[in-house]
């Protein structure tokens, strides 16, 4: 009996020793980092961006009761830059804050996942959210967010998010409300949008036919991304949503006056120059005048005066470093109803640059134009017309070249511009000129007089894209 008690005691002592040894080993493994769980957890924690390194600033937007919040990361390993509005309505702010937070979290998660999958903690991403604000009838504001991100310079995404709200009540307005809550009105709009997309030469060769058919079906969920800009309804599509990335981010612009018959009464425009959306053929003669490489303090001002004389609208593709020194002139261009485009920071051939350098050329110019005007450029023209897949992937607005080169940059002769225009003129032409040459400013009057006599309407590049046909 005594021997049995001793045996049981030894067994208990041995089991206790084994248990204690097991605990010691487990603790040692966890602390030393040999645990797979510990490794993954530690890596994730080390990768997380330190929110205290973010910089936030608040500025006035230029619109009543709307401030702009600018948030950027000071952590070079996880860079990001965001702009978003703050309004007087908590509900609007809450919805936008959720979009901003979700977008940032998605970007950070994508970078962390890429790092873990590739076992490379040095992978750097790039993430920017830019904002455009548009006012309609004094009562409504459109917020248009462009969300661009990349990971390790290999994966580029660009998406659009929009909000339309009543600045008197803080209520959001969706397409269902805009179209008087009637499916038959949506059917009319959907048919028009589909025709505009498929007939637009800027997108035609790049379209995903089946996706276009699907995403223009008259279903409310297909028409969530829209804004009202300069009395036009703008429908947006993400990059690679209905067309290959080479097409950029397709947009369809429709005059609100076309839409009047299918709009709820409170959203109708007083402009009745074109009063039905059924009007889908445009027989008028149009031309888009474009000016590159400015602004120039003297030449651009003279060109603006000549354009005003003929009530002509134009598009100015501006170089960033010139904008920086002529902010007031840039604001004057926009105030006169002209369109502003991005033409890179210092007119480099973008096809010779790295993706990071291309982004710097593009984003720096976007930012300096926004600082001057409160609006981002709506179109992009690469210097020398040089572009490749990298440029196409990184630029989120329409890339616009030209159909008539006046060669004003070559001859610098005011008398040679008009003959070149006459020789090559066609309907829906995009004419290339430069607002840095005095000879161009001197020769512009005769060009406008000729085009006006020929019955051409002067429109911006964005307007003409909807009407342009192949020569």
Catalytic residue list? 292, 434
HSE-CB of 125 using CA atoms within 13 angstroms: 28
Q: What is the C-alpha separation between 138 and 260, in angstroms, rounded?
A: 18
CA-nearest of 141, 140, 144 to 161 is: 144
What counts of helices (H) and strands (E) characterise the chain?
16, 16
Q: Are 41 and 21 in contact (CB under 8 A)?
A: no
- Enclosing H/E stretch for 401: none
Phi-psi region of 161 (alpha: psi -120 to 50; beta: other; left: phi over 0): beta
Q: What is the C-alpha separation between 306 and 440, in angstroms, rounded?
A: 11
Q: Are 54 and 71 in contact (CB under 8 A)?
A: yes
- For residue 140, how far is the Cα from the chain centroid? 21
- For residue 393, how far is the Cα from the chain centroid? 12
Cβ neighbours of 140 (radius 10 Å):
18
Q: Are 234 and 290 in contact (CB under 8 A)?
A: no
């Amino acid at each position: 009996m005594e021997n049995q008690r001793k045996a049981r005691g030894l067994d208990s002592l041995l089991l206790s020793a084994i248990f204690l040894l097991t605990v010691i080993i487990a603790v040692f493994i966890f602390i030393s980092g040999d645990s797979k769980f510990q490794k993954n957890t530690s890596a994730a924690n080390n990768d997380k961006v330190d929110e205290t390194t973010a910089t936030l600033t608040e500025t006035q937007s230029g619109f009543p009761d709307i401030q702009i919040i600018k948030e950027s990361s000071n952590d070079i390993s996880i860079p990001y830059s965001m702009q978003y509005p703050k309004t007087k309505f908590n509900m609007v702010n809450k919805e936008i804050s959720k979009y901003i937070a979700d977008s940032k979290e998605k970007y950070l998660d994508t970078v962390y996942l890429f790092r873990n999958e590739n076992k490379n903690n040095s992978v750097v991403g790039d993430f920017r959210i830019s904002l455009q604000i548009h006012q309609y009838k004094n009562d409504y504001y459109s917020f248009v967010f462009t969300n661009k991100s990349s990971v390790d310079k290999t994966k580029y995404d660009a998406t659009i998010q929009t909000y339309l709200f009543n600045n008197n009540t803080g209520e959001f307005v969706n397409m269902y409300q805009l179209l008087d809550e009637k499916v038959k009105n949506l059917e009319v709009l959907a048919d028009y949008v589909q025709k505009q997309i498929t007939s637009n030469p800027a997108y035609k060769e790049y379209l995903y036919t089946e996706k276009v058919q699907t995403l223009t079906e008259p279903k409310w969920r297909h028409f969530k991304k829209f804004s009202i800009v300069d009395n036009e309804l703008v429908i947006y599509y993400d990059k690679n949503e209905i067309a290959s990335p080479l097409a950029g981010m397709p947009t369809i612009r429709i005059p609100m006056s076309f839409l009047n018959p299918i709009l709820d009464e409170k959203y109708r425009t007083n402009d009745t120059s074109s009063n039905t959306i059924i009007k889908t053929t445009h027989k008028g003669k149009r031309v888009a005048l474009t000016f590159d490489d400015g602004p120039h303090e003297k030449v651009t001002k003279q060109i603006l005066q000549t354009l005003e004389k003929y009530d002509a609208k134009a598009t100015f593709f501006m170089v960033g470093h010139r904008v920086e020194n002529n902010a007031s002139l840039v604001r004057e261009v926009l105030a006169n109803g002209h369109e502003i485009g991005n033409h890179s920071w210092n007119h480099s051939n973008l096809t010779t640059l790295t993706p990071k350098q291309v982004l710097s050329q593009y984003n720096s110019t976007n930012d300096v134009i926004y600082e001057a005007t409160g609006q981002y450029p709506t179109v992009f023209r690469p210097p020398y017309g040089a572009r490749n897949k990298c440029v196409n992937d990184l630029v989120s607005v329409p890339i616009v070249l030209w159909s008539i080169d006046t060669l004003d940059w070559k001859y610098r002769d005011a008398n040679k511009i008009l003959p070149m225009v006459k020789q090559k003129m066609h309907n829906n032409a995009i004419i290339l000129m430069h607002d840095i040459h005095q000879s161009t400013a001197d020769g512009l009057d005769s060009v406008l007089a000729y085009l006006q006599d020929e019955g051409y309407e002067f429109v911006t590049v964005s307007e003409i894209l909807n009407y342009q046909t192949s020569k």
